[in-house]
């Protein structure tokens, strides 16, 4: 394989495609949960970077009619609604295609909506009755002799609502199973026909229909993390299937992008035949800078408090957080999903020590859904941390940015990342220092001097993480000052550079 070669890059950058296609092979419900995902954030900034490349005339994202509004929302300019004129780039258009015929899709959508409606009605009956157990008891009583007319009528109404709704829901589910599901192979075909001579960027190597796109295929392999860290819930067969798909898609590519040498040399090494490996190019990230807030610190904190209370009004932790005075909260923040290599268990143990041993009156805000992981949920309950660890997962971009802005520090405890974590530049740009792990994603981008500071820790060593967090808490301004210089240096690389290196022939 070949490393980034400055001379070769410069030569190739002279020619860029006129049309760039972004291939996203995700169903609608997954897309709806994608906002804030690393892949989507990369694409957003990549597409914005294309704005400064006059040779590229248009960027298209093909999708189904149903997915189109969601796609527009994902690629909308911050704070905008997602109409075509308010996407992250004026060159971008979201192009909707019918997979199976619009009437079939309409039928599918109608059935889906009806099912959701019926389920909501049944849920509200369950809630008002009090519990499933009570609901069962009520159903039993339906066939008993009623004592009063009122009771009889109540039971009758309940049985009509519940039985009818249950029966209808069952029928609609049966029908839905018979309606053909959208097929991405059809979409790939239609997209290829509509946009010939397009350079397709396929950001995930398991989106196998990307390999069938006509035109030039640029496949990104952000990581093959499972080759270094075990993944929960996956058997060997699943991983092998995953690997096979990666190889298949990579083989079909004209160019393969990795965000770091570590991924190329450690995770991909040996997987692809030599003639395929030679197509790999390392294209590191540029820093991400989210917009600043125009309101004052105080107003922003009030807004943060309101938004968090709103967020928790429906979460199961709402009995404690629905009216919590978040405005006065001091906290350390970890912005990361729950994955084994994200090191959450260790950071929770460290936080436990910081709170209890070092008696720092500070909370831990995480963006991962810790309760979805049995081990982490158990730890939180056993250690009684449920009131001090705040799980603000799947929050919108605005709330996320406010959380970063008002944190005492951001901690990046991950054991691995495919490229330099976006959170580093993002937090420093917001005026929040960052404590981070010494991993290849950082060591490839930062100098030894920049890595020598006490804000860098060994992610395998709880003591190291603990000491680092305490140090940064006590020396915020000093650390922030130093990190601003680092981000300034990193910002010499722009997303236009990234786009150019990805797209260049």
Partner 1 sequence: MKVALILPVEYSGGTFRLFLNLIRYFASHSELELVVGIPDDYINSVKVNLDKVHKEFSNIEVRGFNWRILAAKEVEDILPLHGVVVHRFISKAYQVPVDGHENFLDCNFWFIVSDRLACPLVPLRPYGIFVTDHLQRYVPEIFGRKLFQDVDGSAWNFLRAVRNADLAVVTSQGTAADVEMYSGCLNMILQIPTTIDIGQFLSVASQCEQRGQDITARPHCVWVTNTSQHKNHLRMLEAIRKYFEEHNGTLDIVVTGWGTDLFNPQLVLEKDSSRQNVWGHGYVREVRESVKSILGQWAARIHWAGEVSNSEYIAIVQNSQFLVHNVLADNGTFSVIEAAALGRPAMSSDYPQMRQLNEQFGLGLHFFDAFDIDETAKVMSELEGKPIHFNSALQERIEKFSWHSWDETVITVINSIGSAPRKEIACL
Residues contributing to the site for partner 1 (CB under 8 A): 316-320, 322-325, 328-330, 353, 355-357, 359, 361, 363, 378, 380-388
Q: How far is the CB of 409 from partner 1 (least distance, A)?
A: 17
Q: How far is the CB of 380 from partner 1 (least distance, A)?
A: 8
Phi, psi of 80, deg, nearest 5: -105, 165
User: Would you say 228 or 388 has its CB closer to partner 1?
Assistant: 388
User: Would you say 33 or 320 has its CB closer to partner 1?
Assistant: 320
User: Would you say 130 or 273 has its CB closer to partner 1?
Assistant: 130
User: Would you say 165 or 388 has its CB closer to partner 1?
Assistant: 388
Contacts 24+ apart (CB under 8 A), 116-122: 118/165, 118/168, 118/169, 118/172, 119/169, 121/161, 121/165, 122/162, 122/165, 122/166, 122/169
Sheet order of strands, 255-258 included:
92-97, 58-64, 19-23, 199-202, 216-220, 255-258, 280-282
Q: How far is the CB of 298 from partner 1 (least distance, A)?
A: 17
User: Would you say 426 or 466 has its CB closer to partner 1?
Assistant: 466
User: Would you say 345 or 493 has its CB closer to partner 1?
Assistant: 345
Residue 256: in which H helix or E strand, if any?
Answer: strand 255-258
**Contact indicator for 2, 494 with CB cutoff of 8 Å:** no
Q: How far is the CB of 305 from partner 1 (least distance, A)?
A: 11
Query: What is the rounded end-to-end Cα distance, in angstroms, of the chain?
Result: 16
Pairing of strands 389-391, 363-366: parallel
Q: How far is the CB of 319 from partner 1 (least distance, A)?
A: 5
Give the distance, in angstroms, between the CA of residue 352 and the centroid of all CA atoms in the same chain.
27
Q: How far apart are CA 347 and CA 437, in angstroms?
A: 11
And the tokens for 374? 């049995």
Q: How far is the CB of 346 from partner 1 (least distance, A)?
A: 18
Q: How far is the CB of 321 from partner 1 (least distance, A)?
A: 9
Q: How far is the CB of 356 from partner 1 (least distance, A)?
A: 5
Pairing of strands 280-282, 255-258: parallel
Residue 198 vs residues 18, 183, 279: alpha-carbon distances, Å? 7, 21, 19
Q: How far is the CB of 309 from partner 1 (least distance, A)?
A: 8
Residue 333: in which H helix or E strand, if any?
Answer: strand 331-334
User: Would you say 380 or 486 has its CB closer to partner 1?
Assistant: 380
Instruction: Tell me the longest C-alpha to C-alpha distance in the chain.
Output: 90
Q: How far apart are CA 343 and CA 415, in angstroms?
A: 6
Q: 138: number of CA atoms within 13 Å, CB side?
A: 23
Residues belonging to the chain: 505
Residue 409 vs residues 274, 289, 475: alpha-carbon distances, Å? 44, 17, 11
User: Would you say 84 or 375 has its CB closer to partner 1?
Assistant: 375
User: Would you say 28 or 353 has its CB closer to partner 1?
Assistant: 353
């Amino acid at each position: 394989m070949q490393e980034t070669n400055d001379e070769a890059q410069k030569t190739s950058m002279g020619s860029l495609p006129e049309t760039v296609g972004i291939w996203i092979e995700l169903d609608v419900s997954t897309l709806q949960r994608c906002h804030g995902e690393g892949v989507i954030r990369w694409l957003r900034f990549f597409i914005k970077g294309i704005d400064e490349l006059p040779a590229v005339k248009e960027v298209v994202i093909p999708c189904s009619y149903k997915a189109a509004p969601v796609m527009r929302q994902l690629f909308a300019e911050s704070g905008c609604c997602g109409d075509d004129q308010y996407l992250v780039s004026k060159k971008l258009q979201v192009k909707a295609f019918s997979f199976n015929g619009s009437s079939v899709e309409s039928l599918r959508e109608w059935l889906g909506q009806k099912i959701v409606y019926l389920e909501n009605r049944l849920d509200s009956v369950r809630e008002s009755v009090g519990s499933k157990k009570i609901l069962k008891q009520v159903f039993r009583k339906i066939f008993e002799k009623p004592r009063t007319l009122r009771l009889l009528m109540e039971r009758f109404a309940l049985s009509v609502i519940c039985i009818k709704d249950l029966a209808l829901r069952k029928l609609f589910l049966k029908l839905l199973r018979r309606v053909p599901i959208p097929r991405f192979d059809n979409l790939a075909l239609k997209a290829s026909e509509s946009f010939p001579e397009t350079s397709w960027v396929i950001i995930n190597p398991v989106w196998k229909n990307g390999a069938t796109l006509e035109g030039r295929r640029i496949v990104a392999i952000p990581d093959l993390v499972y080759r270094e860290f075990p993944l929960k819930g996956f058997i060997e067969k699943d991983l092998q299937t995953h690997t096979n798909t990666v190889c298949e898609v990579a083989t079909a590519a004209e160019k393969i992008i990795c965000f770091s040498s570590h991924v190329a040399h450690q995770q991909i090494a040996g997987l692809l035949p030599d003639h395929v490996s030679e197509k790999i190019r390392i294209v590191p990230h540029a820093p991400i800078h989210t917009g600043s807030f125009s309101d004052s610190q105080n107003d922003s904190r009030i807004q943060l408090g309101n938004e968090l209370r709103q967020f928790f009004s429906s979460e199961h932790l709402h009995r404690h957080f629905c009216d919590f005075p978040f405005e006065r909260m001091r906290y350390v923040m970890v912005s990361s999903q729950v994955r084994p290599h994200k090191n959450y268990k260790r950071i929770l143990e460290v936080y436990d020590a910081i709170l209890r041993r070092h008696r720092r009156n500070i909370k831990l805000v995480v963006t991962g859904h810790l309760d979805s992981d049995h081990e982490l949920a158990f730890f939180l309950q056993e250690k009684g941390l449920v009131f001090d660890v705040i799980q603000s997962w799947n929050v919108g971009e605005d709330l996320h940015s406010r959380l970063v802005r008002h944190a005492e520090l951001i901690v990046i405890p991950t054991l691995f990342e495919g490229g330099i974590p976006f959170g580093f530049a993002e937090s420093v740009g917001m005026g929040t220092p960052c404590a981070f792990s010494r991993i290849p994603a950082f060591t490839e981008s930062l100098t030894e001097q920049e890595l020598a500071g006490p804000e860098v820790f060994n992610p395998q060593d709880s003591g190291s993480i603990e000491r680092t967090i305490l140090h940064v808490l006590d020396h915020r301004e000093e650390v922030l000052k130093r990190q601003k210089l680092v981000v300034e240096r990193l910002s010499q690389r722009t997303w236009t550079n990234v786009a150019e290196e990805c797209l260049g022939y």
